[in-house]
Amino acid sequence: MERTRAILVDITKCIGCRSCEQACKQAHGFPTASEAKLSPTNLTVIEEHGEKFVRRLCNHCQEPACASACLVGALKKTSLGPVTYDGSKCIGCRYCLVACPFSVPRYEWSKLVPYVKKCDMCSARQVKGQPPACVEACPTGASTVGWRDEILDEAERRILGGGYVKHIYGSDEAGGTSVFFISDVPFEKLGFPAPPKQSMPVLTANALGDVPTVVLVGGSLLSGLYWITQRREAVARAEGNVAYPRPRFTANDDDEKRS
């Protein structure tokens, strides 16, 4: 498998300076006023939980629910790792918002031509070998970027060094992501969602896999039923029994036929 990029967020190192928010806004050309929550113009956010600063952004799942949900394939897992959104395909059904196990994508509710907005891990920058704007701006190294396997090793090394909760958030959440979090406070106390620890697209893949079976088995079953019905009718006709006459639409049908 190709190597993919991943981000590690070390919550113990975050000082809440919001440089990542600002860098993200500048990189995407959004107004720079600070916002308290994820929004269509705020694709990453620092949330305060007690004394801790928790960064939220798209987790860039290895097998994204949003990409499997999107009926026109506007959302894609790129070979480099980021999950990107192609606005020119989007029809605005918002199934991606429903499907996302982390409730990350935002919608431009107040626009007349609304699109979905979410972090794209600065896909265009990464293709050119540059780090995502947020990572580049982080002054404390709370956010770092690298190859996914190396980033996972680094997270493990820090946890083994002590002082951390023994779990890398993102290692198995929703089947594994490309954004990892490590923390000295349990994740559930920091408002992290607890999505299923399995690949999400599998949930619908089974049912969708039944389509050919339904078409083939259903089709032949119905044909069989029709054949039996036909045969039964033919027999009835041969024996001179017609149980049900065809419907008459008007009271005058008979008169019209007679005349």
Instruction: By CB under 8 A, name the binding residues for other proteins.
Output: 38, 65, 67-74, 89-95, 97-99, 101, 103, 105-107, 109-115, 193-196, 200-201, 203-205, 207-208, 211, 214-215, 218-219, 222-223, 225-226, 229, 232-233, 243-244, 246-253, 256-257
Distances (CA, A) of 78 to 27, 86, 189, 253: 20, 12, 32, 67
Q: How far is the CB of 202 from other proteins (least distance, A)?
A: 10
Closest CA to 125 of 90, 85, 82, 86: 82
Pair of tokens at residue 36: 């308290």
User: Facing residues of 46 across strands?
Assistant: 55
Q: How many CB atoms lie within 10 A of CB 168?
A: 21
Q: How far is the CB of 123 from other proteins (least distance, A)?
A: 19
Distances (CA, A) of 246 to 227, 253, 257: 20, 12, 14
Q: How far is the CB of 6 from other proteins (least distance, A)?
A: 23
Contact of 174 with 199, CB cutoff 8 Å: yes
Residue closer to other proteins, measured from CB, 157 or 257: 257
Closest CA to 93 of 115, 76, 111, 65: 115
Residue closer to other proteins, measured from CB, 146 or 196: 196
Q: How far is the CB of 140 from other proteins (least distance, A)?
A: 29
Q: How far is the CB of 16 from other proteins (least distance, A)?
A: 23
Residue closer to other proteins, measured from CB, 79 or 204: 204
Residue closer to other proteins, measured from CB, 156 or 172: 172
Residue closer to other proteins, measured from CB, 1 or 207: 207
Query: Residue by residue, what is the 3-state secondary structure of 126-146?
Result: HHCCCCCHHHHHCCCCCEEEE
Q: How far is the CB of 233 from other proteins (least distance, A)?
A: 6
CA geometry: angle 45, 175, 94, nearest 5 deg: 55
145 Cβ contact partners less than 8 Å away, ≥ 6 residues apart: 5, 6, 7, 8, 126, 131, 132, 135, 151
Residue closer to other proteins, measured from CB, 32 or 229: 229
Residue closer to other proteins, measured from CB, 54 or 151: 54
Q: How far is the CB of 190 from other proteins (least distance, A)?
A: 16
